Chains A and B, each alone.
Chain A
Amino acid sequence: MKTVRLVLTRTLFYVVVALVGTFFVLPLLWLLVAPFDVKANLAVALPTHPTLANFRAVLNNAFAMRALTRNTIIQAGGTMLGTTFIATLAAYALSRTAVPAKDLLVYMLMLFSSVVTGTAAMVPIFLLIYHLGLIDTQLAVILTLTGGLLPSGIFMMRDFVEAIPRSYEESALVAGANSFQVFRDVVLPLVRPGMMVVAIWAFVNAWGTFLIPFILLRSPENMPASVAIYSFYTEAGTPIITLVSAYALLYTIPVVVLYLLVNWRYGFRFFGGIKR
């Protein structure tokens, strides 16, 4: 009796896992086969003659490649640098000064930043950037994304900063270093793993973002890949699937590589609100 139940439970387990796995993997299959098929459409079919011709066509498209290898990297890289350094400074300050109820403060800030994003912030952010004269600049995208990511970045960074024993800093102070030197020479090297995690998180977020550049940018030469992908359309307005799929795969690879890197190096641990 007991073995029967055990066998049934095991079988049920594998059936459910198979169903869940299928549900999640099916929509991704197209992205894996279409780029290698010169006759690709919206169907998932193993190409009879796998080819890299689609990638060659994409690589020869100067506009699309500038979007991917220059604009997206500038915008995601700028956001990454800004978020990481500002969040590290802030997390350190919050950790090492006596501010009353700072835990609640950071938590509320993070919640509040979730409230004032996307829908609600769309209009005032646009007007703010408009009045600052920054419409259609990459800087506008970097600043806006950095502002939006900072609260969560600080939240994630705090764990890492709290984990550093204060005694190192105290001995450096006794030796006559000032706060800035302590931060640069003692704290920064110790929180590097945390900074890596926040940096990758911010980079991946900014890399994939669509709405902010879509609203704030106008001219083609500033578009990141997320907006530029919509240029692979025929004059009739239908997407050229061969090019779209190849470009989509190229655009996706860095995100997957970074995920695998984080997973291998640190384990994909759970950090507060890691992605939005």
Chain B
Amino acid sequence: MDTARGVLSRRGGLLFLAPALLFIAIFILFPFVWVFFLSFTNQTLTGATAVNWQFVGLANYRDLLNVSKWMHSGEFGNALVITLKYVVGSALIGQVGLGLLIAALFNRRKGILREIVFTIVILAWIIPDVVIAFAWVAYLDRDFGTLNSLLHVFTPAQIDWLLEHPLESIIVFNTWRGTAFSMLLFSSALATIPPSYLETAEVAGASAWQKFRDILLPLISSHILTDMIMITLWTFNTFTPFLLTGGGPAFKTELMSIYTYRIAFKYFEFGRGGAIAVVVMLINLTLALGYLAILRRQAVRS
């Protein structure tokens, strides 16, 4: 059955595709190549090296990965470790866990309660970054914040969350911010499971937890994998915590994105910024390719 032919010729197809190809070439492929090139130069925005830049070989990389100092605060290794904790904590544990929980709670359930919870979680996800940032700064404020006023019932301590527990704060923040994606993906995955699968288990007297662990979880494992890779890539690149902490205090929340921003747009060292970007891309690319490989293997098996 060759339905593809006849409706659109190859030349016509290319013409329709041309604008998209042009955009993707300029704004995705070209930056990808250029950043490699940049990372081997000492280019800056202003000063002598803005025009008369030179190739410096691997100097930028050597500087980033300089073992004697790279774990110091404000250096590359520091940002990498913080980013890893942030990704594991907020995306892989926080968003996946909470997303699964909400999706499972409301599996095969309709009604007002589900509508309310889903709407609030989705709102947390779609409201603009800066608005959410202000709301969270207010929420976590030491003197007036909602969180401290609630905790006041249990303890008189006034905690300045963003100063005393900065990384934990942005991890909880990002869990709150991004759970909706995982929740929606898991709940649509769960909805495709035939009810008969669960009925047999119910007859056998399985508890809700057993049904979840032994029936639902294995059936949506590939969705969980898809979800994990998408949110890992996105979380790796989020800049929003900058609006809460600016990367501080003392670089304790300086994620890779904020580090790149500081090097490239505060110091205007594009060569070094490029080298950071290359390392970040290589990490992301490895993740994406590993994921494609797993998907392939699953496709072959089924």
Contacts and interface: CB of A to CB of B under 8 A. Distances in A.
Interface string A101-114: 00000001101111
A170 B105 contact: no
Contacts of B179: 24
Given A115-B284, A252-B127, A120 B277 contact: yes
Given A41-B144, A173-B7, A259-B122, A120 B281 contact: yes
Interface stretch (B26-34, B67-75, B85-93, B193-201): B26-34
A17 B101 CA distance: 10
B127 A30 contact: no
B60 to A, nearest CB: 12
A162 to B, nearest CB: 11
Contacts of B8: 92-93, 96-97, 179
B188 A270 contact: yes
Contacts of B24: 109, 113, 147, 150-151
Interface in B217-235: 230, 233-234
B6 A170 contact: yes
Contact of B277 (A28, A87, A121): A121
Contacts of B27: 121, 125, 128, 143-144, 146-148
Majority secondary structure, A binding face = helix
Contact of B113 (A5, A17, A173): A17
Given A123-B277, A245-B134, A93 B16 contact: yes
A27 interface: yes
Majority secondary structure, B binding face = helix
Interface string B252-294: 0000110011001100001001101110110011001001100
B123 A256 contact: yes
Contacts of A55: none
Nearest to B187: A270
A42 B128 contact: no
B125 to A, nearest CB: 7
Nearest to B102: A20
Contacts of B35: 120-121, 123-124
Contacts of A169: 7
Interface range on chain B (Cβ under 8 Å from partner): 35 or more
Given A116-B31, A128-B31, A210-B129, A93 B13 contact: yes
Interface of B: 2-10, 12-17, 19-21, 23-24, 26-28, 30-32, 34-35, 38, 98, 101-102, 105, 113, 116-132, 134-139, 141, 143-147, 149-150, 176, 179, 181, 184-185, 188, 207-208, 230, 233-234, 236-240, 243, 256-257, 260-261, 264-265, 270, 273-274, 276-278, 280-281, 284-285, 288, 291-292
Nearest to A210: B129
Contacts of A111: 233, 288, 291-292
B127 A124 contact: no
A139 interface: no
Contacts of B185: 270
Contacts of A4: none
A86 B23 contact: yes
Nearest to A244: B134
A9 interface: yes
Contacts of B127: 28, 208, 252, 255-256
Interface of A: 5, 9, 13, 16-17, 20-21, 23-31, 34, 41-44, 85-87, 89-90, 92-94, 96-99, 108-109, 111-128, 143-144, 146-148, 150-151, 154, 166, 169-170, 173, 179, 182-183, 204, 207-211, 215, 225-226, 229-230, 239, 241, 244-245, 248, 251-252, 255-256, 259, 263, 268-270, 273-276
Contacts, number: 290
Given A115-B281, A124-B277, A31 B135 contact: yes
Given A43-B144, A127-B34, A255-B126, A28 B135 contact: yes
A150 B120 contact: no
B172 to A, nearest CB: 9
Given A179-B8, A179-B9, A119 B256 contact: yes
30 contacts: A20-B105, A20-B117, A23-B176, A24-B176, A27-B135, A27-B139, A28-B120, A28-B135, A30-B135, A31-B135, A86-B20, A90-B21, A93-B14, A94-B13, A97-B9, A115-B233, A118-B239, A119-B239, A120-B284, A123-B38, A144-B27, A151-B28, A207-B128, A210-B243, A215-B265, A226-B128, A230-B130, A252-B127, A255-B128, A259-B126
Ranked 4 nearest A-B pairs via Cβ? A147-B27, A118-B237, A208-B128, A97-B13
A126 B24 CA distance: 16
Contacts of A98: 2, 4-5, 10
Given A120-B277, A150-B20, A252 B131 contact: yes
Contacts of B3: 166
Contacts of A173: 6-7
Contacts of B233: 111, 114-115
Contacts of B135: 27-28, 30-31, 248
Given A113-B24, A114-B233, A251-B128, 10 more contacts: A16-B105, A27-B139, A28-B135, A34-B138, A93-B14, A96-B13, A122-B273, A148-B28, A226-B130, A259-B126
